[in-house]
Amino acid sequence: MNSMDEIRKKIKERREQLGYSYQNLADLTNLSKSTLQRYESGNIGNLPLDKIAVLSQALQCSPAYLMGWEDQELSSSIPTGLEPLLPMKKIPLLGDIACGEPILAEQNITDYIEIPGHIHADYALTCHGDSMVGAGIHDGDLVYIRQQPTVENGQIAAVLVDGEEATLKRVYLDRGAITISPANPKYPPKSFSGEAASRVQVIGRAVAYIHIIRD
């Protein structure tokens, strides 16, 4: 058996030992299900070292184990009544964003919060008001944001208008004009065209949120 065959065999064996589906492993590694299937089937001839490192972390073993360089005593069963949880990571929770400062500047950060590791977010914002209730996002909810300067039409984004406090709205682009639209008919959308479009800065895309339940 050559080295790649050994790696594929180890990945498949370890995934099945942990009871992971391809989707479970995809969520933990940010690799697609089809890519993982091709790794195991041998349809991808080379597995980069950085991907081996990512897979080993998700599969709770060392890279050396996957590469066949060492043997490990690995847990293959989960005790009755004990449910494994997905890994967590910390991201900054931002307050008011200072005009002209980098989004993740220290003065913008009010706290750090834990989120599931498979959610690819760079920071979180607290939603204020009821302008996005139609999207299921309520006052006080935490919204996880992936930092990026553009979004596709209709996606929910964190935007700055005139450098003011970040607001969460759906964004629509049309021939140089940008419209930010609430998800609540109580509030009208706002459009900016021509030079005014430069007043709007997309600072990230909403990728997930958590509803905060109050007493």
Q: In whole angstroms, what is the distance from residue 171 CA to residue 191 CA? A: 10
Q: 29 with 58: CB under 8 angstroms?
A: yes
Are residues 105 and 158 both part of a single domain?
Answer: yes
Are residues 57 and 151 both part of a single domain?
Answer: no
Are residues 124 and 204 both part of a single domain?
Answer: yes
Q: 65 with 155: CB under 8 angstroms?
A: no
pLDDT of residue 63: 81
pTM for this one? Answer: 0.62
Catalytic residue of the set 10, 56, 169, 181: 169
Average pLDDT over residues 15-26: 86
Are residues 105 and 151 both part of a single domain?
Answer: yes
- The residue range of the domain holding 101 is 90-210
Question: Could you count the other beta carbons within 10 Å of the beta carbon of residue 53?
Answer: 13
Are residues 110 and 53 both part of a single domain?
Answer: no
Total domains in the chain come to 2
Using DSSP bridges, classify how beta strands 167-174 and 177-181 pair: parallel, antiparallel or unpaired: antiparallel
Are residues 46 and 139 both part of a single domain?
Answer: no
Residue 107 belongs to some domain of the structure: yes
Beta-bridge partner residues of 209: 143
CATH number of the domain where residue 188 is located = 2.10.109.10
pLDDT of residue 52: 84
Catalytic residue of the set 10, 56, 131, 181: 131
Residue 148: alpha-carbon gap to chain centroid: 12
Are residues 165 and 112 both part of a single domain?
Answer: yes
Smallest CA-to-CA distance from 125 within 81, 160, 88, 171 is with: 160
The verdict on whether 169 is a catalytic residue reads yes
Condensed to tens digits (0 to 9), the pLDDT of residues 139-161 reads: 888 899 999 999 999 999 999 88
Of the residues 66, 101, 117, the one at which a domain ends: 66
Condensed to tens digits (0 to 9), the pLDDT of residues 165-207 reads: 788 999 999 988 999 999 999 999 999 999 999 999 999 999 9
What tokens appear for 30 in the block? 């940010």
Residue 57 belongs to some domain of the structure: yes
* Single-letter code of the amino acid located at 7: I
Indicate whether 214 pLDDT > 70.
no
